[in-house]
Amino acid sequence: MRLNDCHNSEDFRRLAKLRLPGPVFHYIDGGADDEATLRRNTAAFDDCDLVPNVLAGVQDIDMSTTVMGRKIAMPLFLSPTALQRLFHWQGERAVGRAAEKFGTYFGISSLATVSIEEIGADYACPKMFQLYIHKDKGLNRAMVEQCKAAKFDALTLTVDTIVGGNRERCLHTGFTSPPRITPHSFLSYAAKPAWGLNYLLREKFELPNLSGHVAEGSNVALSVGEYFSTMLDQSLDWETAAQIRAEWGGEFCLKGIMSVDDARRAADIGATAIMVSNHGGRQLDGSRAPFDQLAEIVDAVGDRLDVICDGGIRRGSHVLKALSVGAKACSGGRLYLYALAAAGQQGVEQALGNLRAEIERDMKLMGVTSVDQLNRNNLRWR
Ligand code: FNR
């Protein structure tokens, strides 16, 4: 299987599986507990159907939208994800360049493998930094200050990782960051020598945004669940979220909002956006899908902040359904991570190109020329 054979997310997923050692692939692919929420996140889109209009003169399509004060060229952006240089040696650099090319937001994780400074200086796309609140308050403050200095467009506070989700695939494979090769996992790493050579020969793998703070912690091989449960601050509450918003002072998003009440409180503390998200099914299994919660949340706060539908998006038609409900934009992780693992920057660009082509084709087939023409009349629930 080659890159030319990749026409959709599932194709990239299969190629990623061929390229990555099992523990790394399953870290990306897996969810919490029985993975019911992971499956539901995408399946939810099948519970409603698009109802097209025709004869609309659709030769000129404008799929741009404005999110958190920045115009983006397509209504889909790249959610922050950790450890990208573990999936391909180009890591965040590949994803940032692709976001630049497609004129959309690049979400950079606190657990990114390149620094805030580098991303701030070198990438022209709209940039959002995703903050995890660590117990080390100096670290939280330092990251916010670095984002200000690097002129990031938005700060996103992730609020659904108060403890680590139970990622059983990672328990089975023994996945840790940095990877710890044990007698149990040796064969899965040895089976992918190309990945191993790249990992060993390229610059040292580290988490630069944590250095000087939890450096010892970040160098010890931890599972991501252990990291969340030991390093993050479980006392995080609305007051702290409001303080961080005030310290930051710019576009501020809460990621991991699932209830109408929390969406209202987000607006009350001055958030300018929320990502309706369950962390890609990696945290609370049995939680509802973002798309299932979207309509209620849009109805409650859609006029007060930007509502973003995050998770489960694999097709352009999923984006059109979320926009028809009233989301300002969609975002996703695995939709570009499989492609990154499969072929670095070229892979991410191909995946985004496929999705952009799907969005454009589907807009034409729906009889709309701009995303604000999509509304609930374009949808019927089964
Ligand atoms: C994530 N996600 C995530 N979220 C976050 O706020 N900070 C992070 O560091 C990470 N890291 C991360 C790693 C991997 C491998 C995945 C798959 C996901 C969650 C991510 O931002 C997003 O919410 C989900 O990926 C959305 O679900 P889909 O699009 O992957 O289905």
Three-state DSSP string of 95-111 = HHHHHHHHCCCEEEECC
Q: What are phi and psi of 8, to 5 degrees?
A: -160, 175
> What pLDDT score was predicted for residue 316?
98
- What is residue 214's predicted lDDT score, i.e. its pLDDT? 64
How many C-beta atoms lie closer than 10 Å to residue 155's C-beta?
Answer: 24
Confidence of residue 178 (pLDDT cuts 50, 70, 90): confident
How far is residue 252's CA from residue 245's CA, in Å, rounded to a whole number?
6
| Residues 84, 257: Cα–Cα separation, whole Å | 24
| Amino acid, single-letter form, for residue 150 | A
34: pLDDT strictly greater than 60: yes
Count of residues making up the chain = 382
Annotated binding-site residue? 97: no
What is the mean pLDDT of the segment spanning 54-81?
98
Atom number, ligand 1, closest to the C-alpha of residue 110: 9
Q: Which of 26, 38, 39, 79 to mutate to test the pocket of ligand 1 (most atoms within 8 A of CB)?
A: 79
Do 167 and 32 form a contact (C-beta atoms < 8 A)? Answer: yes
| Cα–Cα distance for residue pair 50/229, rounded to 1 Å | 41
Q: How far is the CA of 274 from the centre of ligand 1 (A)?
A: 15
CA of 333 to the centre of ligand 1 (A): 5
- Structure pTM? 0.97
Q: Which domains does the chain have, with CATH numbers?
A: 3-366 (3.20.20.70)
pLDDT for 220: 62
When pLDDT is averaged across residues 158-177 and rounded to a whole number, the result is 94
Q: Whose CA is nearest to atom 23 of ligand 1?
A: 279
pLDDT tens for each residue of 104-162 = 999 999 999 999 999 999 899 999 999 999 999 999 999 999 999 999 999 999 999 99
pLDDT tens track for 336-375: 999 999 999 999 999 999 999 999 999 999 999 999 999 9
The arithmetic mean of pLDDT across residues 267-281, rounded, is 98
Smallest CA separation from ligand 1 atom 6, residue = 158
Is pLDDT of 311 > 50?
yes
Question: DSSP state, 47?
Answer: G
Any atom of ligand 1 within 6 Å of the Cβ of 277: yes
* pLDDT (tens digit per residue) in 179-234: 888 888 899 999 999 999 888 888 888 899 988 776 444 456 778 888 898 899 99
Mutate to test the pocket of ligand 1, among 169, 177, 222, 279 (most ligand atoms within 8 A of CB): 279
Q: Is 59 helix (H, G, I), strand (E, B) or coil?
A: coil
The long-range contacts involving 264-270, CB below 8 angstroms and separated by at least 24 positions, are 264/300, 264/301, 265/238, 266/301, 266/305, 267/301, 267/304, 267/305, 269/238, 269/241, 269/242, 269/245, 270/242, 270/245, 270/246
Centroid of ligand 1 to alpha carbon of 365 (angstroms):
31
Rounded distance, CA 10 to CA 316, Å? 14
> Contact 280/41 with Cβ under 8 angstroms?
yes
Q: According to the annotation, is 178 in a ligand binding site?
A: no
137 assigned binding-site residue: no
Distance CA 165, CA 316 (A): 29
279 is catalytic: yes
> Is 9 close to ligand 1, i.e. is its CB under 6 Å away?
no
Q: Is the CB of 30 under 6 A from ligand 1?
A: no
- Position 217 scores a pLDDT of 47
Q: How far is the CA of 33 from the centre of ligand 1 (A)?
A: 16
Per-residue pLDDT averaged across 29-43, rounded?
98
Instruction: Note the pLDDT of residue 215.
Output: 46
